Amino acid sequence: MAQELPLTAGAPSQLRASPPSRTTVLVIAKEPVPGRVKTRLTPPYSPTEAARLAEAALHDTLCTVARTPAGRRVLVLEGRPGPWLPAGFEVVPQGRGGLDERIASAFEQCDGPALLIGMDTPQVTPGLLAQSTGPHAWDECDACFGPAADGGFWALGFRRPRPDLVRGVPMSTSRTGEMQRHRLAEAGLTVRELPVLRDVDTAADAEQIAAHCDGSFAAVHAGLSRAVAP
Q: What is the Rg, in whole angstroms, of the alpha carbon atoms belonging to the chain?
A: 19
The distance of Cα 119 from the centroid of its chain, to the nearest Å, equals 6
With 60 as the cut, is the pLDDT of residue 8 above it? no
Dist. CA 120–CA 53, nearest whole Å: 10
The per-residue pLDDT of the chain, averaged, comes to 91
Nearest partner of 130 among 69, 88, 47, 200, judged by Cα: 69
Please, which pLDDT band fits residue 228 given cuts at 50, 70 and 90? Answer: low
Give tens-digit pLDDT for 148-171: 999 999 999 999 999 999 999 999
Average pLDDT over residues 74-94: 97
Do 25 and 73 form a contact (C-beta atoms < 8 A)?
yes
More confidently predicted of 228 and 112: 112
Q: What percent of the chain has pLDDT over 90?
A: 86
Give tens-digit pLDDT for 89-136: 999 999 999 999 999 999 999 999 999 999 999 999 999 999 999 889
The vertex-68 CA angle with 136 and 187, nearest 5°, equals 50
Average pLDDT over residues 16-29: 84
pTM summary value: 0.89
User: Under 8 Å CB-to-CB from 10, ≥6 apart: which residues?
Assistant: none
User: Under 8 Å CB-to-CB from 51, ≥6 apart: which residues?
Assistant: 32, 33, 34, 35, 36, 37, 38
Nearest partner of 144 among 107, 181, 106, 191, judged by Cα: 191
